Amino acid sequence: MADLKRVFYAGIGLALKGKKKIEEAAKKFVENNKTEADEGKKFIDKAVKRAEITKDDLSKKINETVKTTASKIGFITHKEVDNLKNEIEKLKSRLHKSKKEKK
């Protein structure tokens, strides 16, 4: 059970490091535990794959949280700002045309 916990926490830690760091850490882990070469390679490949998946999942969750928080606070998106700018320009143009017609 302690080994499983250690591997779990190592996986989380590895997920936060870059691919190169993951490979280095996994190699050290394999060397320290005197695992056979084939098993070591499989371990490294799995660690890298899990880290990439975890990184992607974490990134998605962070993006979702930021969007939700920004929405709750009342921030608007770039797209919404652009739409408002376009609408203002249209209104300015109409106002300008209207003023010219009255002259």
Residue 39: per-residue pLDDT: 72
Look at the chain and report how many structural domains it folds into. Answer: 1
| Residue 102 belongs to a domain | no
Is 72 part of a structural domain of the chain? yes
Structure confidence at residue 82 (pLDDT): 94
Q: Which domain holds residue 38?
A: 2-76
pLDDT number for residue 20: 67
Report the predicted TM-score, pTM, of the whole model to 2 decimal places: 0.41
Say if 39 falls within a structural domain: yes
Q: What is the mean pLDDT of each run of 10 residues along the chain (103 residues)?
A: 54 62 72 67 79 82 83 84 95 89 74
- 101 lies in some domain: no
Asked, for residue 48, whether it belongs to a domain, the answer is yes
Residue 81 belongs to some domain of the structure: no
Which DSSP string corresponds to the chain? -HHHHHHHHHHHHHHTS-HHHHHHHHHHHHHHTT--HHHHHHHHHHHHHHHHHHHHHHHHHHHHHHHHHHHHHT---HHHHHHHHHHHHHHHHHHHHHHHHH-
What is the predicted pLDDT for the residue at 51? 79
Position 68 in a domain: yes
Residue 86 lies in a domain: no
pLDDT value of residue 4: 47
